Amino acid sequence: MKVWWHLSGYISHRRAGEAYRHCLPLTGSCMAGSLEEADLAVVHEDPVFWPEIFAARPALGRMPVAGYAVWEGGRLPEVYRPGLALVAEVWTASSFSARAMEQGHPRVRVLPHVVEAATPEADDLRWAAELVGEERYFFSIMDAVNPRKNLEALLRVFARVHGVARDVRLVVKQYRGNASLGGLPGVVSLSGDLSEGRLAALHRGALAYVAPHCGEAWGLGLSEAMSHGVPVLATGWSGNMDFMDEGNSVPLHYTLEPVGNRMASLLPHFTSDMLWARVDESHLEREMLRLIRRGPNPAMCARARAVSERFSPARVARILGVLLRELSYSKNIR
């Protein structure tokens, strides 16, 4: 089969989509040179944009189309419904995200993300060592603009941890915007693009990867950290629980609370009465201090590393191949 795969411009969606496209040869399929010669299509983008994409490419209306999308909350955004009505199937990353998508479409399939550990070069390892010196550090990849990532909670907790362990650092890689964190004791802030090798070097050297998020459809940074055998401390709710458990990571305690007006005003997908998770900051603090005092558990690190086998390109390609064959028999117009 020849597959036309539309990629999102959003960094995490694009990265996931590129990994799926690299899996296509393992399924016996290939990328179509154009939409007109494709047997079927995958539109990997926020569903808000699907009507526009379909309108600009009438050929999509004449072939089976899967819409790939993710959602970080428990309730489907109303703005997704017009787009969902255009596709034969919806593919998404996790069972959590699937439960939301099923509120707007009868055919939802889970296609987990590919998890591969990049190998840092010697120059990457030297760069990371020069950045943090000999000191231990926690690592997190954060969007300071998005309250869902909960950078504020991470900084609050680290301030208390740093008050006890002055020689520990927090390295924050910001991927959208560049919030000024330079004045915070012990915090190293990085902005701009980093190579896969440099990110891998930061993962490998970290005491733990920390993500006190309010909700994730999957959590690429979390699964990537685990592929390097790094302890992950992350809110124990939403899509990351498809690959996290108490044996391979530290799912943090949480309570559910309304999203509130701040997030709803930033992104209209959310309404203020939707629920998301509020991490237990005291639990996060205890676990960070425990790692400082005792170090990582080797058995947990080994089980964390196993996620790269569970979600290897070969295994994800087998799931993708089944989905492509099922899609080829479906009709695009519902």
Do 319 and 277 sit in the same domain of this protein? Answer: no
Which tokens hold the place of 204?
A: 């490998």
pLDDT per position as a tens digit, 124-152: 999 999 999 889 999 999 998 899 999 99
- Total H helices, total E strands in the chain: 13, 14
Decide if 30 is inside a domain. Answer: yes
Decide if 21 is inside a domain. Answer: yes
Do 103 and 160 sit in the same domain of this protein? Answer: no
SS3 251: strand
Decide if 264 is inside a domain. Answer: yes
Q: pTM of the full predicted structure?
A: 0.94
- Run of H or E residues at 43: strand 40-44
Do 242 and 306 sit in the same domain of this protein? Answer: yes
pLDDT per position as a tens digit, 73-84: 999 999 999 999
Do 287 and 172 sit in the same domain of this protein? Answer: yes
Domain that holds residue 169: 122-310
Decide if 334 is inside a domain. Answer: no
pLDDT per position as a tens digit, 103-128: 999 999 999 999 999 999 999 999 99
**What's the CATH number where 106 sits?**
3.40.50
Do 38 and 135 sit in the same domain of this protein? Answer: no
Answer whether residue 10 shows pLDDT above 90. Answer: no
**What's the CATH number where 228 sits?**
3.40.50.2000
Concatenate the DSSP letters of all residues of 258-273 into one string.
E--HHHHHH-TT--TT
Do 101 and 183 sit in the same domain of this protein? Answer: no
Q: How many domains are contained in the chain? A: 2
Q: 184-212 burial, b if ≥16 CB within 10 A, otherwise e?
A: eebbbbbeeebeebbbbbbbbbbbbbbbb
CA dist 46 and 102 (Å) reads 16
Do 65 and 204 sit in the same domain of this protein? Answer: no
Do 322 and 268 sit in the same domain of this protein? Answer: no
Do 212 and 254 sit in the same domain of this protein? Answer: yes
Do 100 and 133 sit in the same domain of this protein? Answer: no
pLDDT per position as a tens digit, 56-66: 999 999 999 99
Compute the average pLDDT of residues 32-45: 96
